[in-house]
Amino acid sequence: MPTDPLPTDPLPAGAAPQMAFSDDQAQAWDQLAELLAKAGIRLMDEETDPPDPDAPDAVCAILGKAGSGKTMLLAALTKALIAAGVETVSGDYEGRRRRDRRTLAILAPTNKAASVLRNRGVPATTIHRILYTPVYDPEYEKIAEWLAGNGPRPDMPDLGETALDRAQAFYATVKSIPGALAAAGLRGSDFIKGWKRREDPLDIGFIDESSMLDTRQFEDLREIFQTLVLFGDPAQLAPVGQSGEMIFDTLPAANRINLNRIHRQVAGNPILDLAHALADPDLAFEDFEARIEAAARTDDRVVWAPRVNSDLMARSPVLVWRNVTRIRLIHAFRTAHGAPETELLPGEPLICDGLELPLKHRKKRIDLEARGLIRGAQVIYLGPGKRPGFSRLHVIGAEEPQVSAASIIKIEREAEEEPFIPFAAHMGAAFLHGAAVTIHKAQGSQWPEVQVFAPDLFAAARAGRVEAGIPLWKRLAYVAITRAEHRLHWVVRNRLARPVEPLGTDDLGGAPAALNLRAEGP
């Protein structure tokens, strides 16, 4: 096989620029091509065999630090599989299943992580959206089958020909059935009648940000996919409760493929330079801060910040280690914006803390999770809903971001065990404030600009804790600074700047009114 199998055609708009494969990427490509050939998919020949349910299951991992080209390799593999006739599955709609079809799903643990891939031209979705599939109203399923090329244009007198034309035009640009139906003037509750656990197996799963996978998610995925490829960064933080071990650490050494060359460093990215400097075992915290201060003097992509920028906190949370710091910063943010204690202002950021629903409401839980309200999802509060206890929300990174949901919003107080609840439904989606988050919760997300609260990392360094043989402060610093896409703010003092702009929601854009899904709770 040639050492540079990357297709020469450009990736879709928004994808990362193409580069020649390095030796380690070419080796990874060869190993994955061999793995896929055993599963009946030959990349070089662009041929596939019908699925074989008796073929052995396979799991492997592509591992590398930030900038090593994992996403570039994932995108190139995706394009090659599509060229070979493999069908990508997004979880929003699946038409009639052919016996000979081969499938690929590109998954991430959170909406934000999936949206990072989509912005680079990779059709990614969340793990939840592939585990649970929508049940369509049979009448509107005719439109979906037509758009997917599996049936004739339906006769829909109640909807009208103009609406069908709008749906067709949308789908020609964006391959989203829910988006196309929304463009026709339908709400999600019109055409989606419920959600069910996936029963049909799929062929290949690419799992990005696999350092965030826990054991239960991994077992769920193994039940569905015959071939799993995990893409992960071994320098990140392991899921809480897994003793510093990540899922890919449990795989045999022969099933772990390492990418060592750092591609993005060639462009002189000071943020990545700082991230990879943390690999030096002799680097002390004070020496690391000196490097940051020096970088800030020569490159505006690194900022030595004397205080927290409260305007940035509205869309990009301050990253901290300790919960007590997080709570203090949240209260400082709300005070600076004049937020009343008894209610939220439109534009305040929230983090989904899970769903508070009894087991008998399993169907409603699946409904909310499928619409993006999963633990760790970033949300912007838009205002109260039409029913008591409901909130209108914008789910960051979701393909259909606007949702109205029964909400339990908690604002924690310093030195108090019980949080303050400005308003709440009896049950529904639970939220914490999102102006500041722990570095653990930030994993898998990226923002154009990121503020890292350095006094917390200094405290971690003083504590002397070690995780999987690496000082905890280095793991925290690595994850925190690699969340920044364009600019890193290293905040060195416990101060907050006054906001320049009031809170608002105009910057969100969002979906048309027809796409405001009603995720109504009991």
Give mean pLDDT in consecutive 10-residue pieces for the chain, a chain of 522 residues.
33 40 84 90 88 86 87 90 88 71 89 78 84 83 87 88 89 78 78 78 91 86 92 82 74 89 63 90 95 95 95 94 94 93 90 76 70 83 89 84 87 75 76 92 87 96 86 94 93 93 84 33 30
Provide the whole-model pTM: 0.75
Tell me, what's the pLDDT at 289?
96
Tell me, what's the pLDDT at 341?
82
Q: Cα(14)–Cα(31) distance, rounded to whole angstroms?
A: 28
Q: What is the amino acid identity at position 400?
A: E
| Spatial CB neighbours of 416, under 8 Å, sequence gap ≥ 6 | none
Tell me, what's the pLDDT at 129?
81
Q: Cα(520)–Cα(32) distance, rounded to whole angstroms?
A: 43
Q: What is the amino acid identity at position 136?
A: Y
Closest residue by Cα to residue 76 from 147, 7, 153, 167:
7
Tell me, what's the pLDDT at 503?
92
Q: Roughly how many angstroms between the first and final C-alpha of the chain, as a whole number?
A: 57
Tell me, what's the pLDDT at 241?
58
Tell me, what's the pLDDT at 456?
96
Do strands 390-395 and 378-384 pair parallel, antiparallel, or not at all (unpaired)? Answer: antiparallel
Greatest pairwise CA separation for the chain in angstroms: 73
Closest residue by Cα to residue 431 from 399, 406, 448, 396:
406
Three state DSSP letters for 75-137: HHHHHHHHHCCCEECCCCCCCCCCCCCCEEEEEECCHHHHHHHHCCCCCEEEHHHHHEEEEEC
Tell me, what's the pLDDT at 437?
94
Tell me, what's the pLDDT at 337?
94
Q: Cα(183)–Cα(174) distance, rounded to whole angstroms?
A: 11
Closest residue by Cα to residue 87 from 76, 99, 73, 102:
102
Tell me, what's the pLDDT at 106?
93
Do strands 466-467 and 470-471 pair parallel, antiparallel, or not at all (unpaired)? Answer: antiparallel
Tell me, what's the pLDDT at 460?
94
Task: Please say whether the beta carbons of 474 and 461 come within 8 A.
Answer: no
Closest residue by Cα to residue 244 from 231, 253, 235, 252:
235
Do strands 308-309 and 466-467 pair parallel, antiparallel, or not at all (unpaired)? Answer: unpaired
Residue 168 CA: distances (Å) to CA of 16, 192, 356, 476:
28, 19, 39, 47
